[in-house]
Each structure stands twice: as structure tokens, then as C-alpha cells.
Amino acid sequence: MSAQLTETLPATGPGLARAARILNEGGLVAFPTETVYGLGADATNDNAVARIYAAKGRPTFNPLIVHCADLDAVRELVQWNHLAQLAADAFWPGPLTLVLPMRIDTMISRLVTAGLDTIAVRMPAGETARALLRETGRPIAAPSANSSGRISPTRAGHVLDDLSGRIDAVLDGGPCPVGLESTILGLSGTPTLLRPGGVTRDALQEALGTRVAERHATDRISAPGQTRLHYAPRARVRLNATEFHDGEARLGFGDTECDLNLSPSEDLVEAAANLFEYLHRLDATGVEVIAISPIPHIDLGIAINDRLSRAAADR
């Protein structure tokens, strides 16, 4: 299927039916989840999954997350266990991805797993995403719908600005309410936080009744979002700015004079929801440097700082 023209589809019955038809024919459709817009393809179709990597310019050693409509669909892909059930009971559907050993009889494309013997799976909470999964009737591989390493999209317009002409369609379901990618929890051995997100490590430990280890930066890539440079605008990023310099775009937090403020009231949930949208806005001005106020390294701030540290990595 050619991606010379990218359709914009409404999140209605006919739009969902059209999006599902494109996916079932091997095409690429960007769609909203509660976290960010994902770039979806049939996870059982090698050619379709390969098109994700090509459209994003994503390295093939970086695995993808598979989205499923329900638990039965998930269990067909992975070796389910007790801890996975506890996590699912507490947080699904929602912004939590589980990495589990792959079933030997799974039909998932090996391109999805980047050669690993595990699969990253989740059940999104967004109603548009869930409706699309039900309409499609198969697991959908979906990384964020942006060029590899760039700012994640939280609106259909962000997707079109970046990938128009490289994908088949965008399902426009409005802005994503969470605005930050899912937490990733590894359960193929010792429970390990592989990527911080909206579900905190403390919340995971409480739900599982056991300690959750943290991934070391030197560990091999085992899940999405672990590359050193990620989530980056075209502008350079300066972190923990307590004062701003002439010519910089100023992204603030709390009581500070700035161009855009993630949360004047220092609400980390509000800051997470605004993060990628505001980075998109400031980057669109063509500024060379975006300076960002310090973000408290607690709760959701840990995930925000993870994204910002990767956005600011040397290029």
C-alpha cells in the first residue's frame, strides 16, 4: 500500500472502520492512546512492521510495544505469570507496558521484538485506541508516531507535521490526556523498571508486593525508550535553568517568568500532559536553544526528567 497521501480520519464509526481496513491490508495508521499517538501496524505482518521502522527511521535493534484489546489477546502472545496478573489487575487498561517471555507459538513478527525472546505488551485506556483494536481484531505494534529520536506527538497535527506522506492515515481523536509514554515493567526475571512513566515505581511495588529493581544505564536495550538520545526537539535543550539567557526559548515550571509554563502551580500531572506539546510549540519557532526550569525528581517528575535528559543528550 502506498503512503504517498496520508489520510486524516475522524474517530467515528466510519473512520475506525477505514483505519482498521488499512491496518489489515498492511498499512500504517497513527492513532491516539491516553499517552501519546502511536504509529500502528499489524504486529503479525513482517512487511507492515518493517514499514514502521522505515517511516520513523528507527533502528531495528529498538523493539516495539504491542497493543492488545483485552487480556485474552495478551495471553496469546506471552508467558503470563502471577506478577503480570497483579500488575494488570491494578493498572490495565492504562499507561503500563509489561515485558514478558514470548510464547513459542506466537504469530508476532520477530521484527517487533528486535531479536529478543521477550515481547512488550499493553492494553491502552484510550477509548479510540481500544475501539480500533477491537475493530482490527489483531494485535497492533505501535511505537510513538514520530521520526526516531524526535519529540513524541500528542496531537494529530504533530503526526502530520512529521510523518505526512510516509504513513497511510492518522486517526484524529484529539489531544492525548496523559502526554507521556507508558511505564515499562520487565517481568521476564527480577521485576525491573525499564522505563519510568505515569505509573511510578512505588505504585508498582505496592501492587506487586515486592521490590522493583531499576535498570542500569549500561544494560543492553530491552524495551523502547532506552536509547541515549530520544524525545529531542531540533533545538538544543538546556536543563535545570534557574535563569534564562537572551535568545533562548524559556520553558518554565512553577512561579517563573517564561514563554510557556508546564505548570504554574507545580502540578506534575499537568506538567507531563503539557511537556511534548510545549516542546513542539517552542521548537516550531526556530529557536536554537530551549532552556527548561528544574523539575522536582519525585513521582511523575522522575519520568519527566527521564524524557528531558534524553532530549538534552549530546548529538
> Is 7-214 a CATH 3.40.50.2300 domain?
no
> Quick one: pLDDT band at residue 217, thresholds 50, 70, 90?
confident
Q: Write the pLDDT tens digit of every residue in 113-153.
A: 988 999 999 999 999 999 999 999 999 999 999 999 899 99
> Quick one: pLDDT band at residue 229, thresholds 50, 70, 90?
low
End-to-end CA distance of the chain: 34
Between 4 and 247, residue with greater pLDDT: 247
Give the start-to-end residue ranges of the domains of the chain: 7-214, 236-311
Angstrom distance (rounded) from CA 43 to CA 108: 6
The fold for domain 236-311 equals: Rossmann fold (3.40.50)
> Do 266 and 298 contact (CB within 8 A), yes or no?
no
Angstrom distance (rounded) from CA 140 to CA 166: 18
Ramachandran category for residue 3: left, alpha or beta (phi over 0 → left; psi -120 to 50 → alpha): alpha
Instruction: Give percent of the chain above pLDDT 70.
Output: 96
Residues in the chain: 315
Q: What is the pLDDT of residue 61?
A: 86
**pLDDT at residue 68 is higher than 90:** yes
Angstrom distance (rounded) from CA 182 to CA 161: 23
> Quick one: pLDDT band at residue 199, thresholds 50, 70, 90?
very high
